[in-house]
Chains A and B, each alone.
Chain A
């Protein structure tokens, strides 16, 4: 039996067969029971959640619900600012930081009546692909506790996959929503850059970061995106583009006669696991069965996207993370007698290894004498990567690719080799370069029972098409809801 989706819970709330307090207690209980094994949360907001749930029930009794998801529990990644609730970014440097304001996406969840039950574990400052780079310990994959859930939004992926919450928000800078969604067998979507406000999302790489939904089904992703999307005067990069009713439009897409681009660069290569290749082939067969035409294309510059990302992302991070200096908030190292030493020691002790590595990479790439060769060159290659997408999308309605070259890998197996970890994002990172939208959905399992995701991608602000196409594919594949990890069985 499958875990209950947010849509089902919303229906039960509307029928009056459950209350929001019932649901919130249920999920808090699931969290308490499974956290010792999963470590998906940094902070569980028990009191706040029960208070919010009681208010939701009062609204419903008065006939004043705020949205279809009013009363549904949700988790948010711990890089989203929550007023009065500590926000750590998985870092020691923010271990005790209690923000005095609220981020826009979180505020919108509250305004839609959702019940925020906790802040999820993540790679420190969203830098990582395994949720092992967390100052609060690694999160475990619910399908195999010895394996990683992916990252950096690993906590949100685990929480949804294991039935700790029905839906969650993550953030995606180079694949940080889609890759853990793929490794945990759930749906994860990176909206177009600017679709969701970044106000109150702690910045890693400002030209790439984007908040998005992590859910059990495509329909839930449509509902959750609809709740948080939209223009925000507090984020000048947020787009003033209308937000359609994504969930209502899901049935409007027919694959018959549609063209889907299969870039050869995403379907070959020594790094591609044979079982992922098998699932990719089966997915393409399904699409052909639905009447889609598979168009072979080449995107010759995507092979440069890892390098481009690690120059641009780290350059932006080196600037963004300069604010963590121990002066105004967060951790401050003891025992220094001048301000420069205080800054350096605070940062040296407060940041983990991967964060320090990326700050130094970015600082070096931007430093005198190297700027043109590294940073400027990467900005130009980014233009070429984007052109690859534009060419593919001229020939087809959507682009398809595996989300991750391999299924969930054993914890610890890539921690000693940063470059090997970076290569986890080889199929997801180029989309962030282009700024377009993409969704990973569960497409099958390995023989060993690990989930495998496939991603569909579309152009700027084409979320409606993307979600409805993914919804049709999800129905045809029949993978979503077909299996539940053992640790989640008690949640059913």
Chain B
């Protein structure tokens, strides 16, 4: 399918990616259209009765004992924070 600049804009919003302008939007539209055109070859494969494989090898849930282990200290967790106040991460206004 053609990934129009409108679709690019919508997907960029869903992805929380600010695009630099019309030129970037046009370029992604061109590139993504070409890629999706290619991957649509999968439509020709007959998959009736075929189970999907979300993992390459069988996986099952694994549980551990519910024991308390040391975690990161506030200080260590905040060490990379772009902005902080007291023991909190600080971000721009949410609401």
> Which A residues lie at the B interface, using CB under 8 A?
96-98, 100-101, 192-194, 207-208, 233, 236-237, 239, 301, 304, 306-308, 310-311, 318, 322, 325-332, 336-345, 347-349, 351, 356-357, 359-361, 363-364, 367, 373-374, 376-384, 386, 418-419, 422, 432-436, 460
| Contact in complex: B42, A307 (CB < 8 Å) | yes
**Contact-residue size bin, chain B (C-beta under 8 Å from the other chain):** 35 or more
- Residue in contact with B56 in the complex, picked from A340, A348, A435, CB distance below 8 Å: A435
| Contact in complex: A329, B81 (CB < 8 Å) | yes
Q: What would be 14 A-B contacts, judged by CB atoms less than 8 Å apart?
A: A96-B80, A100-B76, A101-B72, A233-B64, A310-B35, A329-B81, A339-B94, A349-B18, A360-B11, A360-B12, A364-B32, A367-B11, A380-B52, A433-B56
How distant is the Cα of A306 from the Cα of B35 in the complex, in angstroms?
Answer: 11
How distant is the Cα of A342 from the Cα of B40 in the complex, in angstroms?
Answer: 35
Set of chain A residues within 8 Å of B14, measured between Cβ atoms: 363, 367
Which of chain B's residues has its CB closest to A233's CB?
Answer: B64
How distant is the Cα of A327 from the Cα of B32 in the complex, in angstroms?
Answer: 29
A-B pairs, top 7 by smallest CB distance, nearest first, are A435-B56, A348-B18, A379-B52, A329-B80, A332-B82, A380-B47, A307-B39
| Contact in complex: B15, A327 (CB < 8 Å) | no
How distant is the Cα of A96 from the Cα of B35 in the complex, in angstroms?
Answer: 33
Set of chain B residues within 8 Å of A341, measured between Cβ atoms: 18, 92
Chain B at the A interface: mostly helix, strand, loop or mixed?
loop
| Contact in complex: B54, A207 (CB < 8 Å) | yes
How distant is the Cα of A237 from the Cα of B82 in the complex, in angstroms?
Answer: 32
| Contact in complex: A380, B50 (CB < 8 Å) | yes
Set of chain B residues within 8 Å of A344, measured between Cβ atoms: 13, 16-18
| Contact in complex: B93, A364 (CB < 8 Å) | no
> Which B residues lie at the A interface, using CB under 8 A?
3, 7-8, 11-20, 28, 31-32, 34-36, 38-43, 45, 47, 50-57, 59, 61-62, 64, 72, 76-77, 79-83, 89, 91-94
Tell whether A98 pairs with B80 under 8 Å between CB atoms, given A339-B92, A359-B17: yes
Which of chain B's residues has its CB closest to A328's CB?
Answer: B89
Rounded to whole Å, the gap between the CB of B25 and the closest CB of chain A is 11
Tell whether A383 pairs with B53 under 8 Å between CB atoms, given A311-B39, A332-B82, A332-B83: yes
| Contact in complex: B53, A348 (CB < 8 Å) | no
Tell whether A377 pairs with B43 under 8 Å between CB atoms, given A327-B91, A363-B15, A364-B11: yes
Tell whether A374 pairs with B39 under 8 Å between CB atoms, given A327-B89, A360-B8: yes
Set of chain B residues within 8 Å of A192, measured between Cβ atoms: 57
| Contact in complex: A304, B45 (CB < 8 Å) | yes
Rounded to whole Å, the gap between the CB of A413 and the closest CB of chain B is 17
Which of chain B's residues has its CB closest to A300's CB?
Answer: B45
Which of chain A's residues has its CB closest to B49's CB?
Answer: A380
**Given A193-B55, A360-B15, A383-B53: 20 more A-B contacts, CB < 8 Å:** A98-B80, A192-B57, A236-B61, A301-B45, A304-B42, A311-B39, A327-B89, A327-B91, A332-B83, A337-B92, A342-B92, A343-B16, A379-B52, A381-B42, A383-B50, A384-B50, A386-B53, A418-B31, A418-B35, A435-B56
How distant is the Cα of A144 from the Cα of B4 in the complex, in angstroms?
Answer: 40
Set of chain B residues within 8 Å of A339, measured between Cβ atoms: 91-94
Set of chain B residues within 8 Å of A380, measured between Cβ atoms: 45, 47, 50-53
